[in-house]
Amino acid sequence: MRAGSFVLLVPVMVSAGCAEQPSRQTAAVVVDISHGLEPRWDADKVQITARSSDGLVTEKSIPLAMLKCRVGDTVKATAQGVTLTLDDRACI
């Protein structure tokens, strides 16, 4: 096999082994509530950081007036592969 063919074959073999992971319901603990990344533009929003029991971390931005959780609260989330997504109603 020529080297050029091998270079093209490697990405195909790697991507074939990366099937989409199933999603699963999980819980995450709120570890931080802070101002968003752009407080100048989004002064009325806060950024919530949460961590699942298996170490996945995510962030979510919501309006301060709708905030209904505190650091240490457990919220619903969905994990898929290495991605953690908070429930739409988490902390609202």
User: What is the C-alpha to C-alpha distance for residues 52 and 32, in angstroms, rounded to an integer?
Assistant: 13
Q: Which two tokens stand for residue 68?
A: 């209904």
Q: Which two tokens stand for residue 47?
A: 């950024």
Q: 14 or 40, which is more confident? A: 40
The whole model's pTM is what? 0.74
> Can you list the domains of the chain with their CATH numbers?
22-86 (2.40.50)
Instruction: Look at residue 28 and give its three-state secondary structure.
Output: strand
Q: 5 or 23, which is more confident? A: 23
Q: Does the CA dihedral 29-34-38-41 come out positive or negative?
A: positive
What is the average pLDDT across 9-13?
A: 56
Q: 15 or 81, which is more confident? A: 81
pLDDT in the model for residue 21 = 86
Q: Which residues pair with 34 in a beta bridge?
A: 47
In this predicted structure, the answer to whether residue 53 has a pLDDT above a threshold of 80 is yes
**Element holding 15 (H helix, E strand):** helix 3-16
